[in-house]
Amino acid sequence: SLNTFACDICGCFMGLTPYDNQSSIGLLYRYRSFNGYSGQKHQFFPSGSSFFIPRDKKDAPLTGHNNNPNDYELYRTMEIRGRYFIHRRLELNAIVPYNSNSERYNGNTSTISGISDINLFAGYHLIRKLDQATFNQRLIIGAGIKLATGRNDLKTNQGIRYATLMQPGTGSTDGFIYANYLLGYKKFGMSLNSSYKINGENKEQEGIANSSTTFLNFFYNQRLSTDWQVMPSIQFFYEKSAGETYKGVKTGDHEMNNLMGGIGADLFYKNIALNAGIQTNLWQAKTDHPQSAAKIYVGITYNINQLYYLLKN
């Protein structure tokens, strides 16, 4: 079986897992790189950047940019993830993220980090046909909320407040809905995930326009032994957002309309799952901001052998 939901906007991701209705706890690290303007080269790891969370650097002055090829924006997130099934068909999820964001414009680099916005969401398994010999399918529908728990008032040493997307938190309370459909044929499978996020505003009346994402995953399930199992996958990710807003008006900054593609692999040993994947930009609408270059994630999950549920069938 498969349970995948990936979204940079709401921070949700659950990798491939054979533990379809088992509670779990895990860690996930996500890295997202934006660099190179239209017509320029895009790099997974821009010169002078760091894949892992670096020390904060808050003393760089904020200046405009002029399409410098060395400009970049990096978004790193370490998440603690918990999932609890109160019924065989009903799951409750919580994500506690720690963000570290970096930007480099015209030779000036800033990095700030902190606890971000907590996500709480629930999913209902509307269709569950996962014990068939040939064809299997499953449909999950769900909804959730992103709480304004992260700080969004951090400033430079000169007392200038950082831009909204650089802050660890957004300062707004947002809601989202999602659906995950799985179709399997013997050892092959496909998972299609879509989400739509309704965003609020923070006290500065800043926000992000309502956003949508779609994640398509083709995978192959290979059991290596009684305890070991591996699932390689081919992944596609599409996201669209009108970008930042101020007082309810779209500013045009950080618009997103792009398609990414890549590969992933999930390795299982008994109750432990290791997840990893990498994607690069396949297509992007024209923008005057650094373009999407790379998206990488690695994670580990421990699945609990859950035998009882609070709500019976």
End-to-end CA distance of the chain: 20
Q: Greater confidence, 38 or 153?
A: 153
The answer to whether residue 206 scores a pLDDT higher than 80 is yes
CA atoms of 125 and 142, how far apart (whole Å): 9
96: exposed, middle or buried (Cβ count in 10 Å: 0-12, 13-18, 19+):
middle
Phi, psi of 169, deg, nearest 5: -120, 165
pLDDT score recorded for residue 65: 59
Phi, psi of 166, deg, nearest 5: -85, -20
The answer to whether residue 193 scores a pLDDT higher than 60 is yes
Q: Which string of DSSP letters, residue by residue, matches 138-168?
A: EEEEEEEEE---S----B-TTSPBPPGGGSS
pLDDT score recorded for residue 13: 47
CA atoms of 255 and 261, how far apart (whole Å): 19
Q: What's the mean per-residue pLDDT of the chain?
A: 85
Give the residue among 79, 27, 74 at the shortest CA–CA distance from 54. 74
The answer to whether residue 1 scores a pLDDT higher than 80 is no
Residue 154 CA: distances (Å) to CA of 159, 165, 241 = 9, 12, 25
CA atoms of 51 and 293, how far apart (whole Å): 13
pLDDT in tens, 132-172: 778 888 899 999 999 999 999 998 888 889 888 889 999 99
The answer to whether residue 91 scores a pLDDT higher than 90 is yes
CA-derived radius of gyration, the chain? 20
Lowest mean pLDDT among 18-27, 114-123, 168-177: 18-27
Model pTM above 0.85: yes
The answer to whether residue 310 scores a pLDDT higher than 50 is yes
Residue 223 one-letter amino acid: R
Residue 33 CA: distances (Å) to CA of 51, 223, 296 = 9, 34, 9
In sequence order, the 6+-apart residues with CB closer than 8 A to the CB of 54 are 100, 102, 111
The answer to whether residue 111 scores a pLDDT higher than 50 is yes
pLDDT score recorded for residue 52: 82
Contact between 30 and 76 (Cβ < 8 Å): yes
Residue 67 CA: distances (Å) to CA of 26, 101, 106, 285, 286 = 39, 20, 9, 17, 13
Q: Greater confidence, 37 or 262?
A: 262
Confidence of residue 19 (pLDDT cuts 50, 70, 90): low
pLDDT score recorded for residue 81: 92
